[in-house]
Structure 1
């Protein structure tokens, strides 16, 4: 009996250690169900938004680039990865594969008209720091 409890304890401890060492990935945005971690509005438009993956493995979700930029600015020491929703495909895409643009003809959720695109566009480019404004 003691040996069985000892083996069970080792098995549980090993499982917890392995679970804690697994690579955390960004969670997808569930449109119509998730809420923006900055402004608390429901995330509904599949063309806008993004996510931040924290150092602890938590996914913060946003309805717009502007909301993501505000949180990124205040929490940048705790952020592991930045993702934006590609305007054309609605896919969460890592920051290094995306370019931000301002398009005055397409009103975004928070009114600053910022879009993220995987492909080159004939629009004014901006960086993440400019998206806060």
Structure 2
């Protein structure tokens, strides 16, 4: 009976691990810490995440922190998936599909002053309103 219990427990753990989420996770505002600057993430619309090939998740409080971390950790971050928060909705989207605006009246947590948008039209409108520059 003990063997059966151990096998059941082991198979349950394998099943749960196989079903675990591999995409970005929700930000716990005020609790999660930036993996680059170590500050607490307080503004989720500027947050970013990086998931390595091995599945390790890193969270950042600003797009500039993600970029700095990536430059300093090229072995770890090679071929990693990057996610940014769509500024209007806060929903995470893949970085390579986002349109970015920078500068102007944007004030992000670490001074990167960059916002990401899923929709290019929304980015263009925000860039005009905030006197920012469309960068991608």
Higher helix share goes to which structure?
2
Alignment RMSD (CA, Å): 2.1
State the match for 1:44 in structure 2: 42
**Number of aligned residues:** 123
How far apart, in 1, do the equivalents of 2:60 and 2:111 lie? 14
Shift of 1:104: 2.1
How far apart, in 2, do the equivalents of 1:29 and 1:86 lie? 13
TM-score by length of 1: 0.77
Q: Is the 8 A contact 1:103 1:115 kept in 2?
A: no
String of CA shifts for 1:69-116, please: whole Å, max 9, x gaps.
Answer: 12233232372x211011111222222432222132212222231111
How far apart, in 2, do the equivalents of 1:102 and 1:108 lie? 10
Q: Which runs of 5+ in 2 are unaligned?
A: 128-132
Q: Which runs of 5+ in 1 are unaligned?
A: 128-133
TM-score by length of 2: 0.75
SS at 2:9's partner residue? helix
Distance 1:112 1:104, change over 3 A: farther
Which protein shows a greater Rg? 1
How far apart, in 2, do the equivalents of 1:116 and 1:55 lie? 23
Distance 1:7 1:111, change over 3 A: same
The partner residue of 1:29 within 4, 27, 30 is 27
